[in-house]
Amino acid sequence: MTTPSGPRRRLVPAYLATQGRELAPGRHSLDRLSILHAAADLPAGLGGEHRQLWELVRPGALTVAEAAAHLRLPVSATVFIAADLAERGALKVRAPIPSAQPVNRDLAERLLSGLRALK
Amino acid sequence: MDFAPSSNTGSSPIYLPATDPILMKLMITGPFGVGKTTFVRSLSEIPTLHTEETMTAQGIPVDDTARIPGKTATTVAVDFGRLTLPGGDLVLYLFGTPGQRRFLPLWEDLARGALGALILADTRRLADAFDAMDLIEEAGLPYTVAVNRFPDTPPIELDKIRAALDLDPATPLIECDARERQGCLDALISLTEHVLDRLPQETAP
């Protein structure tokens, strides 16, 4: 038996936002704080959520979490669309912390002095 | 307490500074209605945003939805805000997340890469904080406990609260008012000092 959709269900299921495809391997490096910024023009043939995300981060950079909130998409769908756009060269993606610089005392000390400076 | 939802609506995006900042993350957690969203809102430079996170059937917060309007049984809202530190090369994200043990899988996903967590506690229902303490200890994050001062909170005796929570002597315990920016900053400073205490010393020169 199938369960009828509740009144709060999304009108467009999240998997349709990704055009029904599954996440390709190797795309799991994106997380909520990955930084997205439009790079080149939007490749022809991409519309819908791809266009919305690309247009959102054309004027400036936002994290995946912020993009998901503005587009009202699940984080997982936003990750998929961002990875798709990045693969086609339309989006630059940067890690929150450059990999050469893991969380260490230096970063925590910079955070501490930054917070104290806000007081 | 107000449960006004954070505003994803209509607010145009406020972009990150063009300085290629490093992004850091702290978790603000605790029981429902303890003031997490208020805390994030007090410090955030952007209108707080939220993402809807889908819960597994096992994790459906059935017992809480009745008294939290706008929360459905299948998703949980995660509120977050952002704070650019002076100089613009460091941006701090604050994620307000539910502190119930049944949210563990979601919590571990959200907390990946976080520096530490602030637990907000309410003296009128202190036992609710245990869940969040368990959750964070399991995730291995350093944390500080901040007692949120509500208008009708009786005078707070931190020694008694420390004993009641059976806190490790090294874990900071402070009080704050989630509506006041200065106190919220003090809470994050206390947490960051504790994070530093827990990080291994750099190799001596």
Q: Measure the CA–CA gap between B123 and B150, rounded to whole angstroms.
A: 9
Chain A residues whose C-beta is within 8 A of a chain B C-beta are: 6, 8, 31-33, 35, 56, 59-63, 65-66, 68-70, 72, 74-75, 94, 96-98, 101, 103-112, 114-119
State the total domains in chain B.
Answer: 1
- pLDDT tens figures, B120-173: 999 888 888 999 999 899 888 999 999 998 888 888 899 999 999 999 999 999
Q: Measure the CA–CA gap between B66 and B70, rounded to whole angstroms.
A: 9
Say whether A55 sits in a helix, a strand or coil: helix
Q: Measure the CA–CA gap between A32 and A64, rounded to whole angstroms.
A: 5
Is there a contact between B18 and A6 if contact means CB atoms under 8 Å apart?
no
Please state the φ and ψ torsions of residue B82, each to the nearest 5 degrees. Answer: -140, 145
State the total domains in chain A.
Answer: 1
B83 within domain boundaries: yes
B106 neighbors B53 (Cβ within 8 angstroms): yes
A7 Cα to chain B: minimum distance (Å) = 10
Q: Is B10 left (phi over 0), alpha (psi -120 to 50) or beta?
A: left
Q: What is the pTM of this model?
A: 0.84
Nearest to B27 by CA among B116, B133, B138, B139: B116
A3 within domain boundaries: no
A64 within domain boundaries: yes
B196 Cα to chain A: minimum distance (Å) = 6
- pLDDT tens figures, B55-89: 654 444 444 444 445 444 457 889 999 999 999 99
Q: Measure the CA–CA gap between A85 and B202, rounded to whole angstroms.
A: 40
A32 within domain boundaries: yes
- Look up the CATH number of the domain holding residue B82: 3.40.50.300
> What is the domain range of residue A61?
25-118
pLDDT at B11: 75
pLDDT at A10: 47
Which DSSP category does B133 fall into?
Answer: H
Q: Measure the CA–CA gap between B91 and B81, rounded to whole angstroms.
A: 10
B9 within domain boundaries: no
pLDDT at A27: 47
Q: Mean pLDDT lowest for which of A84-88, B5-9, B130-134?
A: B5-9
A44 within domain boundaries: yes
A1 within domain boundaries: no
A78 within domain boundaries: yes
What residue of A is the nearest CA neighbor of B49?
A: A69
Identify the sign of the CA torsion A81, A53, A29, B25.
negative
**Strands A62-63 and A35-38, how do they pair?**
antiparallel
> What is the domain range of residue B179?
22-198
B170 within domain boundaries: yes
- Look up the CATH number of the domain holding residue A58: 1.10.10
B129 neighbors B121 (Cβ within 8 angstroms): yes
Please state the φ and ψ torsions of residue B185, each to the nearest 5 degrees. Answer: -60, -45
Q: Which residue in B85, B91, B186 has the most chain A C-beta atoms within 10 A of its own C-beta, making it the best mutation to test that interface?
A: B85
Is there a contact between A108 and B195 if contact means CB atoms under 8 Å apart?
yes
Residue A14 burial (10 A CB sphere; 0-12, 13-18, 19+): middle
Is there a contact between A111 and B192 if contact means CB atoms under 8 Å apart?
yes
The length of chain A is 119
